[in-house]
Amino acid sequence: MSYTLRGRIESRLAALVLPLAACCALSAALHRWWPLELCGLMVAVGVALDLQLYHRLLRYQPGWVALPLGLLELGLMLALVHALGLEAPVVPALLLFAAAWAVAQGLGQAGFPVLRLSYATDGGELGRIGIVSGAAVIAMLASAGGYWWYRLPPVVHLSAGVHQGPLVIDRRERLVGDRGAVVRGGIVVRANGVTIKNVTVVGGENGIEIDDVADVVLDGVTVSGFELDGIHVRRTAVTIKNCEIDALGNTYAQGIDISYASDKRDSHVMGCTVVGGQEGIVTHFSNASLMDNRVSRTTLRGISMTEMSMGMVEGNEVRDATGVGILCNDHSMCMIEKNSVIGTKRVPGSEWTGGYGVLVAYSSEGELRDNALGANPRPYGAIVDSTLSSR
């Protein structure tokens, strides 16, 4: 087939009408944006390549070339998914792409030529069908974008200065702190879809408390001076990133505690710094990935996954913990990879505080890979019916 530029774009958009409709339906059914985000990327990547590359390079495109071009588009799409941080599950995303590609090939090789006799001679142009399909794709993407925009929570700016708390958020919103915005006495989240960004919290029983809600994001929060937990999460899947928690001097506090959320989606804690307290980051009965955090000077454990928790502990740096650096405990399953645990101190008298870099305990399963365990009295160990394996 020797496409004109218009023919390429019309054929592509017409072939994407069906997959895009499926993505809309899937997004609506799952209450997730990733199917639509993927379809949007498919459109963007495809049209960009049509404009910038394919039209210039391929004066004639034999049928088999669709395969390498499809792989190229898939590669670019996966790179963009990664770069944009989209949370699309890999297998369904690949299946979606493969299905869309197959539909496009079926239509390009068989459907369009049958529908429009002059399809090949017209260089892939589809006449009215092309215009209607293009409009349909734009309309679907615009509608989805509009809905996304409409669904965006209102942004509440917290001005610089000290605001007396506790601050209770009981509606969907984005709370964005201006530089120097401080809440004294803690924040309580009681609504779904809340984002808190760039806010400093001082004091409170818990610095930030989140209980039985959904879709909560904490980004760039700083918490200090609390009594129990810096960030206290119950029955909620959260995303916490780039936070700073100071529990120095509070021997019994916990930096971040995510508990009883095993029936929720995965929680994520990324790029946080926790200093002091009894435990830096701890999960109970939850699914979580704890990645690229820095935890130091805790008095019992640096990072803990316990009580039938399951997840990934990756790329964290744990320094100067007393007792244990990273603990996988009580029927939990932990993938512990590429962490650095240094300078753990031993407290004589108990195995639980025996100075392990990594300890797997009480019928738990730990899988270790590429960890740097240095200056710990015991680099790693497994106790009480637990297994420790390495890849």
- Which residues sit at the interface with another protein, rule CB under 8 A? 1-4, 7, 59-60, 62-64, 109-110, 113-114, 117-123, 125
CB of 122 to another protein, least distance (A): 6
Rounded CA gap, 275 and 373, in Å? 19
Cβ contacts of 375 within 8 Å, gap of 6 or more:
342, 343, 344
Residue 110 or residue 248: which is nearer to another protein going by CB?
110
Least separation, in Å, of the C-beta of 62 and another protein? 4
Torsion sign over Cα 88, 92, 97, 103: negative
Q: Which two tokens stand for residue 181?
A: 């915005």
Alpha helix locations (H) across the chain?
A: 5-30, 34-49, 55-57, 66-84, 90-106, 112-115, 128-151
Q: How far is the CB of 43 from another protein (least distance, A)?
A: 23
Contact by Cβ (8 Å): 282, 254: yes
For 5-43, give one letter per residue: b (16+ CB within 10 A) or e.
Answer: ebbbbbbbbbbbbebbebbbebbeeeeebbbbbbbbbbb
| Nearest CB to another protein, comparing residues 61 and 340 | 61
Residue 346, CA atoms < 13 Å, CB-side half-sphere:
14
CB of 42 to another protein, least distance (A): 22
Residue (9 or 199) nearer to another protein, CB: 9
Least separation in angstroms between residue 124's CB and another protein is 8
The β-bridge partners of 324 are: 301, 356
Nearer to another protein, 121 or 387 (CB): 121
- Closer Cβ to another protein, 2 or 390, answer by number: 2
Residue 111 or 220 with smaller CB distance to another protein: 111
What's the closest the beta carbon of residue 316 comes to another protein, in angstroms? 50
CB of 1 to another protein, least distance (A): 7
DSSP state of 348: T
Strand partners, 328: 305, 360
Q: Based on the number of CB atoms within 10 Å of its own CB, is 364 exposed (0-12), middle (13-18) or buried (19 or more)?
A: buried
In the complex with another protein, which residue's Cβ is closer, 4 or 239?
4
Amino acid at residue number 69: L
CA distance 214 to 122: 52
Question: Please, what is the minimum distance in Å from the beta carbon of residue 336 to another protein?
Answer: 47
Name the minimum Å distance from CB 325 to another protein: 57
- Name every residue whose Cβ is closer than 8 Å to that of residue 148 and which is 6 or more positions away in sequence: 33
Q: Which is nearer to another protein, 3 or 34 (CB)?
A: 3
Residue 124 contacts residue 11 (beta carbons within 8 Å): yes
Question: 125 or 246: whose CB is closer to another protein?
Answer: 125
Q: How far is the CB of 100 from another protein (least distance, A)?
A: 19
Closer CB to another protein, 119 or 380, in the complex: 119
Q: Taking the chain, what is the end-to-end CA distance rounded to the nearest angstrom?
A: 49
